[in-house]
Amino acid sequence: MSETVHAKVLVLGGGPGGYVCAIRCGQLGLDTVLVEADRLGGTCLIRGCIPSKAIIHRASQFEQICRSSSDSLAGISLATPPVLDMGGLVKWKNTVVDRLNAGVATLLKKSKVRVISGWGCFSDAKTLNVETADGRITVHAEHVVLATGSKPVELGFLPFGGKVISSSEALDLQQVPPRMLVIGAGYIGLELGIAFRKLGSTVTIIEAQNQILPLYDRELVTPVAKWLKTHDVTVHLSATAKGLTGDTLIVEMADGKTVEIPADCILVTVGRVPNTSGWGLENIAVDLAGRFVKVDGRCATSMKNVWAIGDVVGEPMLEHKAAAQGEMVAEIIAGRNRTFEPAAIPAVCFTDPEIVSCGLLPSEAGPDAIVSQFPFLANGRALSMDAGEGFVRVVARKDNHRVLGIQAVGEHVSELSGEFSHALAMGAVLEDIAGTVHVHPTLSEALHEAALRALGHAIHI
């Protein structure tokens, strides 16, 4: 069976950029078709952000219970240690994913978006041929939105397969590997490495650069490094994986010597690349910027009425960036005047403790910036949760006190990221934050105190 479909908008990719764009198009009354070869929700929902946070959450709970069984934890103790059913944990994680996947499908249907399940390939810039279970469907559209996302980087000498896995396979492991070796100490590697350490794995981390989380400064990274050391996670910096022999990874250390590290599972997390192959990009004739699709401030490509959003257009490869771009493109197609000019795009590492960074780091703000931080050791809510490690930091201009960046490291600080981003988006000055009443007792009071301290009159330090 073959079918021809005509639409105002065609969205290729059902991840957070694509489905948000399609939903907004539908809300604006645009006849929209969304094509997705896999499940709706994309990497973030199906095999990334959501399932990893589910595993991380349960891993932290398991670790706390284990601590209670070996020693009294603030008056709470257990007579016997807990038993982990990794298969049951993965099954629960999948129910979370399934629920959200079904929710996306419902929202698309509510917005009258037609979803076509199958692999699409462009024959020209406005024509997509989709191979479905029931035959080919050809879609012709006035506007095309490329939202094809990204995929894990595979090392040529260490291809995925068997014990060598990407983050996607790590989230479906049915047994906790006794020895896990993580290549890459970026946020994905550390998030999963820490989670599996909590679940019982012996974890070793290999990083080619000279610090973990190399995109952040040492102040932010130090509490995470301390956690790794305290929990017996071995970290080799300035080290490079060279190859695999049986159960042993060959690693060149900082001093040039080669060592062999045995492992039951090797998790490769050395980055992600845009998904630009297999769907006919060469037939659209859009310009590229290196590996990425080149776009302007409206996410328009070099081809008229062809747009691109999310991971395929460049860093940062984050869900919230893709979703914001998707919403914007839908409104531009509907005739509204929009550009993608966020004051900042916050990033979160769900490590232990968590790290949030929004806007400029001190090193990026210049020598004349005001840098002020407030420790969670002086925050009542943090101490009441036994979460005194870390701080909130504010970076501002010295001349007019305009806030340039806000960072934090500590337990649960990811929940502060919205306030950080909002302050920068509204062009806040230090006096705005200092003059805002913050609820007590909450972690957000640390931001208030950091602003007060920058102005020279912190109360609780």
β-pair partners for 299: none
Cα–Cα distance, 132 to 134 (Å, whole number) = 5
Work out the burial of residue 240: count CB atoms within 10 Å of its CB; fewer than 13 is exposed, 13-18 middle, 19 or more buried: middle
Closest of 344, 329, 309, 311 to residue 418, by C-alpha:
344
57 is catalytic: no
Lay out the sheet containing 403-410: strands in order across: 347-349, 354-359, 403-410, 391-396, 370-375
The tokens of 290 are what? 């290196």
> Is 258:251 a contact under the CB 8 Å cutoff?
yes
Q: Which of 140, 438, 440, 460 is catalytic?
A: 440
- The 3-state secondary structure of the chain reads CCEEEEEEEEEECCCHHHHHHHHHHHHCCCCEEEEECCCCCHHHHHHCHHHHHHHHHHHHHHHHHHHHHHCCECCECCCCCCCCCHHHHHHHHHHHHHHHHHHHHHHHHHCCCEEEECEEEEEECCEEEEEECCEEEEEEEEEEEECCCEEECCECCECCECCEECHHHHCCCCCCCCEEEEECCCHHHHHHHHHHHHHCCEEEEECCCCCCCCCCCHHHHHHHHHHHHHCCCEEECCCEEEEEECCEEEEECCCCCEEEEECCEEEECCCEEECCCCCCHHHCCCCEECCEECCCCCCECCCCCEEECHHHHCCCCCHHHHHHHHHHHHHHHCCCCCCCCCCCCCEEECCCCEEEEEECCHHHHCCCCEEEEEEHHHCHHHHHCCCCCCEEEEEECCCCCEEEEEEEEECCHHHHHHHHHHHHHCCCEHHHHHCCCCCCCCCCHHHHHHHHHHCCCCCCC
Give the catalytic positions in this structure. Answer: 440
